[in-house]
Structure 1
Amino acid sequence: MCVSTKNPGCEIDPQAHNIQLVECTLNSMLDWKHNIQQHTMLRSIAPIFDVDDSQHHLSVVPMMACAKMIMRANNQSVTVRNCQVAKTENIDPCKTMEGMLAANNYKLEFCELCTEDACNSSIAISPKIFLTLLSVLGVLVLGYSYNNA
């Protein structure tokens, strides 16, 4: 969990800059919100990290996700990596954050949620892109071998 304005390593590759990994839980989201409230530039958007306290009393804990967001605030791009509730049929945290940011004159340029360990700090090729590239390569190889047969 990091903000690029406090830690420039957050923007590109947190693991290479020794930014500590955090297990995503409702408590870590609450801690993150308190941390953001101390950050002058981001204080007004702290509510996007609200946790419904009534969920603490439910027997079903919501699935958690890692989030990476890039927002524009005061003509400055800010990368935020944090924990968030995972997207469901009824809840889309990225859409909710986009609306809350717009209400505070911020623009959400990028938002992605993932559920694998440390997935919001990875710079690896996603499986979808890899499969697409592999398919294109396969078509090229087949086309070449067909033309030379």
Structure 2
Amino acid sequence: MARIVVFSLCLLLTVRSIACIECYSCISTENPDCIHPEQHMERQKCNTDGLRQTSQYASKLSTEFKEIFDFPTIGGPIPLNCLKQVVKVEGTEVVFRGCQLPKDPHNQLDVCNKVLSSKNKNNVHVMFCALCDTDGCNGAPHTRPSLLAAVGALLLGALMVAF
């Protein structure tokens, strides 16, 4: 019985480790919904096709910039992350989202490290770059009031009532 439980746990861990995460994949120059994708876009499976799509988005910014996104030939399933980048191209802000290789211990595959450490490539200035590893994590940030602001508002309201 214990062997069956251990085998089942190992099987579940194996399946989870090769399961694809889902990411938003878009570029704001082609799709304005890319600014806030949660409202109107479906997430895509993050796999090698998604990785190629992200590279194609980068090529639309500049050929040299795309070279940063070229990835080695990959055999078999690999873990991938979601990517969100905000760049300025000749003064115009562009958002693109997609799939990318995860950070590695030596930062040789980390695309954010590469783009942030590179100088402007053909008038492409990177303003923001982040990798994440959960479904839909490369969406737009949600604005939420902070706990401090809520407590402050309650205290201010209590003071107003008291005086």
Do Structure 1 and Structure 2 share a fold, with TM-score over 0.5?
A: yes
CA–CA distance in 1 between the matches of 2:46 and 2:64? 23
Aligned residue-pair number: 133
Identity of aligned residues (%): 26
Query: 2:160: which partner in 1?
Result: none
Query: 1:31: which partner in 2?
Result: 53
Q: Which amino acid aligns with 1:87?
A: K
Q: Which runs of 5+ in 2 are unaligned?
A: 1-24, 155-163
Q: Which amino acid aligns with 1:31?
A: Q
Look up the SS of the partner of 2:135 in the other structure: coil
Look up the SS of the partner of 1:77 in the other structure: strand
Give the alignment's Cα RMSD to 1 decimal: 3.0
Query: 1:106: which partner in 2?
Result: 124
Give the deviation of 1:69 after TM superposition: 0.6
CA–CA distance in 2 between the matches of 1:101 and 1:83? 23
CA–CA distance in 2 between the matches of 1:29 and 1:70? 17
Equivalent of residue 97 in structure 1, options 97, 115, 118: 115
Instruction: Report if the CA contact (8 A) 1:101-1:108 is conserved.
Output: no
Q: Which amino acid aligns with 2:72?
A: D
Query: 2:19: which partner in 1?
Result: none
CA–CA distance in 1 between the matches of 2:117 and 2:150? 40
Q: Using a 3 Å threshold, how does the CA distance of structure 1 residues 122 and 27 change in structure 2: closer, same or farther?
A: same
State which structure, 1 or 2, has the greater radius of gyration over its C-alpha atoms: 2
Query: 1:8: which partner in 2?
Result: 32
Query: 1:52: which partner in 2?
Result: 72
- The TM-score normalised by the length of structure 1 is 0.69
Q: Which runs of 5+ in 1 are unaligned?
A: 142-149
CA–CA distance in 2 between the matches of 1:88 and 1:36? 21
CA–CA distance in 2 between the matches of 1:13 and 1:85? 23
